[in-house]
Amino acid sequence: MMKNLTALFLAVFSTICWAQEKANDSLETIKLNEIIVIGNKPSLHLKQSKSLTSVEEYLSKSSKVNMIKRGSYAWEPIINNMATERTVITIDGMRIFGACTDKMDPITSYVEVSNLAEATIASGQQASCHGAGIGGSVDLKRNPFSDKNTGWNGSLNSGFESNNLQKIIGASLGYNDSHFYTHIDFMHRDADNYKAGGNKEVRFSQFTKYNISASVGYFINQQKLLEASAIYDKANNIGYPALPMDVSLAEAKIVSLSYKYLPKSNFVTNWETKLYFNSITHKMDDTKRPSVPIHMDMPGWSDTYGYYSRMKGKFEKHSFLADLNGFYNKSIAEMTMHPSDPNENLMFMYTWPDVRTLYNGLSLEDNIKISENDHLRIGANLGFQNNTIANDFGLASLRIFYPEMDASKNRFLKSFAANYTKKNNIFEFGFGLAYAERAPSVSEGYGFYLYNSSDFYDYIGNPNLKNENAFEGNFSTGYKTSQLTAKITGSYFYFSNYIIGKIDPNTLPMTIGASGVKRYEAIDNAKILNTDFNLTYDFLENWQFKSQLTYSTGKDNDGNNLPFISPIKYSAGIDFKKENFNAGISVLGNLAQNEFAKTYGQTKTPDYLIFGLNAGYAFHWNQNILKLQTGVENILDRYYTTYADWNKIPRMGRNIFINLTFNFH
Amino acid sequence: MKILKYTALLFLSIVLFSCSSDDASEIPADETTGLHKIQEIANDTHTIELFSSTGSLVQGYNHVSLRIKDKKTNTYITDAEISWTPLMHMAMMQHSCPRSEVGKVDKKTIFEGDIIFQMAQNETEYWELSISYKINGAIYTASDKINVPASAKRTVSSFKGSDGNNYVIAYIAPSSPKVALNDMTVGIYKMKDMMTFPFVDNLRVKIDPRMPSMGNHGSPNNTDLMQRDVYGPYMGTLSLTMTGYWKINLQVLNASHEVLKGEAVTTDNPSSSLYFEIEF
């Protein structure tokens, strides 16, 4: 009751604020994406209250993004209440796929905040150039070292969090000159088990990782830039308290070579071509758990080779983009079980039977400025995908379920979108329609006995699945003055051939303790609706009030609730910024999830409300900045769990953090 | 002179050592490639060589190849009518086992057949193989002791059915199981008397492969084993989802769907009393 009232109060309060006119950074109304700034850029340092937090924390500031948490590490981002099989997540435009059949390694876990400048989040088809998805996309953009001032630059970072004794240390060094630049950065994190509210330790939630990245760029001339970059990320001994296994190794090698050309042309303004390769190794480990029914080794590997060539141009009222992209991915995962009798043969099978995915696509986008106030964006994405099982053993395994299946399957994926926005000085209004298709993921198409520890079923892939598709309708309304910005957006997705696991009553499970087997099937239709409201209000010169409210619903063809749909989520905060000092207070909560997916094995989640405080100070001298940030999260040490916590593991209790960063020039 | 000598030598060597590809009249070189010799059984006139793919006999199903060498001419016989009788010498009695006819399949000198030893030898009890053959109207016999050790895993089982008859069931194929839907073949024989074990018709075998070391989980899409021809073995599909040790639980049913032997696997009953084992 109290929580409902608080939510209502916040929602109402945030809608009736008015204030005097004041100059304000304008929201770029043409861009439909949401940009979350991550980096440690000196000019923006005051806008982050906790600059050394994880990449996932940054992403969850978006109203479109939620996180499924299986531990305190590697959260899976969900956009518009859709998980990674329905979205496209890229690092600087590079496609990259996790190597874990249980989704313990979303690719956001393979980068660090020190690698990134910003994350561009697009809802639905509003930026579909990186691949075929439905819910949206996230592009984690790396730091563009090319636009730093000449000379040496660098930083030292250190942080500490009290709850799980997380120690963070990082450093970076770069050199820029008129002909080339080079940059290297390093970050290391080490944390023990965390404690939920009431000092309840969550065992097996520790992690250790380090990340090194380097880039080198050479300016061939004023307009041409050649850049090579690499990221190496390695994490050991990562605990996943929500799962029956932990991870002994999660390692990523990401390399790319790109050529950027800014022609002095009236037509083409920017042409970038990139070649890339990434390799992920992921090894699950159950040796630290006290008692396992049978000891298993579960390593997985995912290698991706890819390219893109993206051209941007202008012609009269049109700003267009053409992007040719493709990738080749090899995903393979094994399971080896050790029987208790050491003389008995090992039990071996492929859980991902060496699936090769080859995708080539063309993405076209045109932004038309019909008039000063009217803007139309149209986009299309066409792609060809081939999936092949390259390994005979793997193919024979899947043929146990699908004796007639071919080793290879071709798909044609298309999407179209149109968005219209109209704005004047204070109001902005937009609506859009889109149609998109996506291919089943490796697990959905070719998974072999993948155990889901949240609903206790073994999942079997289905290579005969048709492309899932959705019609999307979206709208947005905004009101903007120099002091107040308010925006409501909503998207409605109507799916056909919605891919979800359905119980197969005739098949016995394999995993000890599983309730049965589910096969990925396509249901006739499903619907997801997401709406959100964002407000910022600047007052009294140095103060800002921010609030966010989201509401979502999802239903399948029988009217049952879909799993992992967020209940009403609300947050609010007040920030104070004056010169070098900033401080803030925030509140975040969910209402109870009563619309849980009973038919899919979910249970009710209670409501929660948590409070946080933060403060920071920056010292400047010459071009150097020393920034100190500190704060308390979950001040009242509330014990809580959310709808997105796998197996209802509790989240962190009270946590005091301190971040110290030093940027020099 | 010297040139002539060498030329002659060369000419001679070419003639003597040249290979001829097609000699229908000549006995083919060696038809035993891929087979390994088990042993020889000899009498005054002939030596019978026994072969199998493994080189030894074992309890259970054996596919045996043999060829008969004429001691005088040192050539292999291409035409003979052969029959064999394996006999187990036990303390109290002697008995035979299920076996097929011996005949030529696709080779000239090799004769083949199946023998299913339902039990292995031990310190006091042993198997002997007697072969009786007719060449050009003359009948010959040869016999010798053979080695039939126990199989590492259970591949043959003797049981008394609920109808009072004694049966022998033997695992025939797949000899190299794979993670896949495997074609499975099983032979079922009725013990008519100590020496006669004919094929049984019109039965049905239900199979339920399980992994006892892993929660006794099973596999999907197995099919019952049924006969293709009268007097033939039983065939169906064996589904194996991973490598390791599997226990294939069996239930044998008669034409009226009554269970002759074996129980279904349930949470209370983890194994049938009738089963085969494989490990790969």
Distance from CA of A443 to the nearest CA of B (A): 17
Alpha-carbon distance of A480 to A485, in angstroms, equals 4
Residue range A336-358: mean pLDDT, rounded? 93
pLDDT at res. A18: 27
The full length of chain A comes to 665
Which residue in chain A has the smallest CA separation from B266?
A508
- CA neighbor of A61 nearest in space, from A48, A73, A70: A48
Chain-chain contact of B244 with A345 (C-beta, under 8 angstroms): yes
Query: Which residue, among A345, A393, A458, would best test binding to B if mutated, counting the most B CBs under 10 Å from its CB?
Result: A345
Gyration radius from chain B CA atoms: 24
pLDDT at A497 over 60: yes
| A407 min Cα distance to partner chain B (Å) | 14
Asked whether the predicted pLDDT for residue B22 surpasses 60, the reply is no
Which two structure tokens, joined as six digits, stand for B116?
């299913």
CB-CB neighbors (< 8 A) of B208 in chain A: none
Amino acid of residue A277 = F
pLDDT at B31: 82
High-pLDDT (> 90) share of chain A, %: 54
pLDDT for the residue numbered A4: 56
Question: With an 8 Å Cβ cutoff, are B244 and A340 in contact?
Answer: no
Report pLDDT for B4. Answer: 67
Smallest Cβ distance to A347: which of B181, B211, B221? B211
Please list every residue in chain B whose beta carbon sits closer than 8 Å to the beta carbon of residue A344.
213, 244-245, 279
Decide if B217 touches A, using CB distance below 8 A.
Answer: yes
B215 interface with A at CB cutoff 8 Å: yes
Mean pLDDT of A579-594: 89
Is B239 an 8 Å CB contact of chain A?
yes
What gap in Å lies between CA A354 and CA A408, rounded to an integer?
12
| Contact (CB<8Å) A347/B181 | no
pLDDT in tens, A50-61: 777 778 888 888
Q: Which superfamily is assigned to A2-664 in CATH?
A: TonB-dependent receptor, beta-barrel domain (2.40.170.20)
Q: How many CB pairs under 8 A join A and B?
A: 84
Residue B41 tokens, joined = 């059984």
Q: What helix, strand, coil percent values describe chain A, rounded to 5?
A: 10, 60, 35
* Cβ-nearest to A349 among B181, B241, B279: B241
Q: How confident is the model over A529-566, as pLDDT tens digits?
A: 999 999 999 998 889 999 999 999 999 999 899 988 88
Taking only residues 153 to 212 of chain B, the set having a beta carbon closer than 8 angstroms to any beta carbon of chain A reads 178-181, 211
Mutate to test the interface with B, among A295, A508, A515 (most CBs of B within 10 A): A508
- What is the distance between the alpha carbons of residues A564 and A562, in angstroms, rounded to a whole number? 7
Q: Is B243 close to A397, i.e. CB distance below 8 A?
A: no
Contact list, A508 vs chain B (CB under 8 Å): 217-220
Identify whether B28 is preceded by a cis peptide bond (ω within 30 of 0): no
The whole-number pLDDT of residue A39 equals 54
Among residues A326, A300, A321, the alpha carbon closest in space to that of A310 is found at: A321
Q: Which helix (H) or strand (E) holds A227?
A: strand A224-238
Instruction: Report which DSSP code applies to B40.
Output: E
Q: Cβ separation of A347 and B244 shorter than 8 Å?
A: yes
* Nearest-Cα residue of chain A relative to residue B279: A345
What's the rounded mean pLDDT across residues B190-203?
92
Q: What confidence tens digit (pLDDT) does each residue in B92-119 have?
A: 999 999 999 999 988 889 999 999 999 9
Separation CA B161–CA B163 (nearest Å)? 5
Q: What pLDDT does residue A48 have?
A: 64
Domain ranges across chain A: 2-664
Of the pLDDT bands very low, low, confident and very high (cuts 50, 70, 90), residue A5 is low
Q: What is the ipTM of this complex?
A: 0.82
Lowest mean pLDDT across A313-317, B86-90, B157-161: A313-317
In the numeric block, which tokens belong to residue B29?
């070189």
Q: Say if residue A22's pLDDT is above 70.
A: no
CA atoms of A79 and A646, how far apart (whole Å): 17
More confident residue, A64 or A520: A520
Residue B186 to residue B168: CA distance in whole angstroms: 10
* pLDDT tens digit sequence for A255-276: 999 999 988 888 888 999 999 9
Confidence of residue B145 (pLDDT cuts 50, 70, 90): very high
| B219: closest chain A residue by CA | A508
> Which residue from B minimizes the CA distance to A347?
B244
Domains of chain B: 36-146 (2.60.40), 156-279 (2.60.40)
Considering the entire predicted model, what is its pTM? 0.86
Chain A residues whose C-beta sits inside 8 Å of any chain B C-beta: 293-294, 335, 337, 339-341, 344-349, 393, 396-397, 399-401, 403, 448-449, 506-513, 517
Cβ–Cβ gap B241/A397 under 8 Å: yes
Residues B95 and B88 sit within 8 Å (Cβ to Cβ): yes
Name the residue among B181, B217, B240 with its Cβ closest to that of A509. B217
In angstroms, the separation between the Cα of residue B222 and the nearest Cα of chain A is 9
Distances (CA, A) of A300 to A248, A355, A611, B116: 12, 12, 39, 44
SS3 content of chain B, % helix, strand, coil (to 5): 5, 45, 50
pLDDT of the residue at B27: 54
Tell me which residue of A515, A542, A532, A473 sits closest to A601, measured CA to CA: A515
State the nearest Cα–Cα gap between A460 and chain B, in angstroms: 11
CB-nearest partner of B245 from A293, A339, A403: A339
Residue of A nearest to B222 (CA): A400
Interface test with B, best of A510, A511, A512, A518 (most B CBs within 10 A): A510
Mean pLDDT of A589-601: 84
A346 and B243: CB-CB below 8 Å?
Answer: yes
Contact B241 A400 (CB under 8 A): yes
- Measured between CA atoms, the residue of chain B closest to residue A339 is B213
Q: Provide the strand spans (E) within A370-439.
A: 374-389, 408-423, 427-438
pLDDT for the residue numbered B15? 55
Nearest to B280 among A345, A349, A509 (CB): A345
- Residue B186 has a pLDDT of 96
Residues of B in contact with A349 (CB under 8 A): 179, 241-243
CB contact under 8 A, A348 and B242: yes
Whether B279 and A344 lie within 8 Å, measured CB to CB? yes
Question: Percentage of chain B with pLDDT > 90?
Answer: 79
Q: Specify the pLDDT at position A54.
A: 79
Residue A9: predicted pLDDT:
43
Average pLDDT for A415-440? 92
Cβ(A535)–Cβ(A550) below 8 Å: no
pLDDT at A508 (0 to 100): 86
CB contact under 8 Å between A345 and B218, yes or no, is: no
CB spacing of B221 vs A400 below 8 angstroms: yes
Give residue B16's pLDDT: 57
Closest residue on chain B to A340 (Cα):
B213
Rg (CA), chain A: 25
pLDDT value, residue A19 = 29
